[in-house]
Copies of this chain bind each other. A is one copy, B any other.
């Protein structure tokens, strides 16, 4: 089926990313936006955009009826769900199919088979993919407490219905178990509408290593190598990189083959990610499969030259995968930092407000995927990720240095961001040595705070700026603004300016 018009059922940077791919391929795009997103870049980017109203996710980006309705009305013949929102919702995939719209992703059945984390592990164990010891509900007659005793503390509680760190809790002793279960159920219910939990062995110093998969609708599957996503905070990835220093060619091949096996086992099609935990002894375990595009797909694109989103569309159009595993190579090193509107010094509390000044670091091999721009209002309705900053270098050291430079030149004033925190991580000797595990932040940045010393330059700059503006107010009768024509290019320069 030729895809001619795609409704992008998402917002922010990923909506922009998908629309760019469509436009390059000559495919028309339909954007959607909730009230608070009316002025977002993805709205401008789309060939046409339609309102979803109330910003509450359930009323807007999760509202299947509205989305299907707009797709039908505009003549779209495919839907790209992006990540988050409805991207792993099998009912949405099915509803699209029923409405004659190609869902750009795997089938509803495949989403279902991996959406239930317990069933997913069961399937993988049967297929011969290594799986972490745990409690998945199939152990007959065992209570969650008995399972903890069998597996041994610490254990990890996770929501069965979804990922992204929501509903995850680490439990170190039996006494903490009940409280953790309650809190996890509450978060799981609210995030996924399903409070079923699962339990697994909590590994010491594990790395999070995932493999990007591309599979066509004819059973051909390749992997695009690994991504190391060990730097996490509360199970949310913060910094990702590829290749991983923990993998040699032999282990990379083995894990890649396991990832392909996982995909083939469930008849996977389109782009997906097989997540593994890698322990200190270089043993790896299947963790889960994300049946969608991932936030961190860009680092794979930087090191393989492959456009994953375009391949998603080509695969959904029924094209054969022309990439061959033997010919695929990784080159150089890529790192991604997720820029969040949050305050690292205040327990990473999301920060809201207006982005007043945005000056981005630019240069070769710096990629900046964002759905916000100067003047954007950061609302509390959605994920506080502002942008993804991705760099590529000849090797890991070169890429790290470029990332440090880019973070140091990333000016975003108006909302509090995690940029100083990201800089501190990239600058840390443990990061430089590549000695990463999923406890990295907890180990090195438990109660991190930026220096509170105020350099005198800061006060000097503020005082001069205030001095100059107070001077202008005094003779403002004569303000330049009055003399300027009302042309759009006068947007360069603030209107009450003294130079």
Contacts and interface: CB of A to CB of B under 8 A. Distances in A.
B495 A495 contact: yes
Nearest to A41: B362
A20 interface: yes
Contacts of A368: 362
A490 B394 CA distance: 40
B301 A364 contact: yes
A365 B26 CA distance: 18
Interface string A408-426: 0100011000000000000
A364 B401 contact: no
A488 B24 contact: no
Protomer copies: 2
A278 B455 CA distance: 60
Contact of A489 (B20, B305, B375, B488): B375
A352 to B, nearest CB: 16
Interface string A214-231: 000000000000000000
A492 interface: yes
Interface in A454-499: 469, 472-473, 481, 484, 486-496
A402 interface: yes
A494 B484 CA distance: 10
Contacts of A392: 305
Interface residues of A, number: 53
A414 B494 CA distance: 20
Nearest to A356: B489
B356 A487 contact: yes
A23 interface: yes
A298 interface: yes
B375 A305 contact: no
Interface in A3-44: 17, 20, 23-26
Contacts of A484: 495
A398 interface: yes
B394 A306 contact: yes
A393 B311 CA distance: 13
A82 to B, nearest CB: 15
B495 A481 contact: yes
A374 interface: yes
